[in-house]
Each structure stands twice: as structure tokens, then as C-alpha cells.
Amino acid sequence: MTRFALTIEFDGSPFQGLQRQKHGPSVQQSIEEAIARVCQEEAILHSAGRTDSGVHALAMRSHVDIEKDIAPFRLMEAINANLRPDPIAITACEVVSDDWHARFSCIGRSYVYRIVNRRAPVTLARDRVWQVGHDLDVDAMHRAAQALTGRHDFTTFRSAHCQAHDPVKTLDRLDVERAQTEYGEEIHVHAAARSFLHHQVRSMVGCLKLVGAGTWTENQLAEALAAKDRCKLGLNAPPQGLYFVKAIYPE
């Protein structure tokens, strides 16, 4: 039995999320079925994080245990061939030790949320960004975001369906900046932590958007955090602008 670490890129638009779901297609199901066709065996995909329906990944880290004697490059190529036409790609594959775990060995995770701030319809990046038609004050959003960094009880920014035992998390980074992309200027919200609560990033971005629009003051965001009450959440951003960027492991 060999443990392979996979780096996965995917467009989450057609999926009900990364993990297997009873009510629709998932990234995990597509990859496991591709491996079954390649190796004629069942393998379970374990991943560094979970993603909701419509959320994307630039470099999700996962692992599978496979009995078949196969080189990492051949496995990667064969899985990719069998994933077509699903918008999923294995971009790296390597052998790792049996005690390496994509989820439990991970010591850091980062996300980016993309906002297109314009009135004209989004065409090329549709389903990959959140379009906000009115002007947003990026500097105010960034200043307000700093109240959320550090160790806090993030109950306000936690989904009612979150399964985490503890709402206390340490947010290492929450930065808001303007970024030039191939689609033009966007607003990017960067978030990094050891782990996140369900919907935490989307909920934080939604409230930052209210600050940028002038609907909330910067102090109101801090007050929402202190309330530790989901009912005090102003807005949950839609999933299509969210990307899992990176999983970090000990050297």
C-alpha cells in the first residue's frame, strides 16, 4: 500500500462541494471514481479542507492509499485522463509517508475571496467572482478586517450547521486589497488560519462588504464579533467568489 499526496485544482461550479454528497456530484466522488478506473480498486480521498457547493480550489491537498504499483507521474496522468470532462485537475502527485495525513498534518490553510466591483455584467469570470455593482471603500474594509485577526470566538461568523466543537479560532491574516487580474481590477480578501469554521470566510467577507458600502461602520463589525451571535451577522457572501489557495505542512 502506497500513500500518494495529490494537489488538486478545481472549478466548484458544477459540484455540491469537495466531499461526497448524497444529493449531487462532488469533487471527491469524481476523483475516487477516476482512481477506481485506473487502479481497479477503491480508494478514499482525504483532504486538507472542505468546500461548499460552488467554491473553488487552486491547490487543495489530499491523499489516497493505493495498492497498485504505479509511479506518481503515471498515476497523475491517468487520473487526469479519467477526470475529463469534469473541471478538476491533479497538478502534482508524490509519495508520502504512511503517517502523513492531508487533513491532520496540516498546520495552516489560506483562502482568497474575489470581488468584481462594477456595474457592467461579468462575462469571462462569471461563477468565479462576486459582482458588487456599487462602489466599495477598500481601505475601510481592510481597516475593519483587522478587528477580526487574532484569537476570538467566531460564533457570529459560523454556520448554524458547523460541526466544529469549539468556535474559538486564531485568524492569522485578513487583508483586503485591490488586485489586477486577467479580467481587470478586482478586490481580493485574503484569509489565513490553522483552521476555519464552516462559512467563516464567506461570513467575514459579507460583513466587510457592508463596511465597504457604508452600510456598516468599522465599529459595527467589531461589535458583531463581540456579540458571539449568528443573528448579528450582516451578510453571508455567495460561494462562487471563494477559493481554497494553499495548505501548509511542517517541513
Query: What are the grid coordinates assigned to 231, written together?
Result: 443573528
Do 243 and 52 form a contact (C-beta atoms < 8 A)? no
Q: Catalytic annotation on 52?
A: yes
Query: What are the grid coordinates assigned to 87, written together?
Result: 473541471
The single residue of 11, 52, 127, 166 carrying the catalytic annotation is 52
Bridge-based pairing state of the strands 56-66 and 242-248: parallel
72 C-beta neighbours (distance < 10 Å), count: 17
Catalytic residues: 52
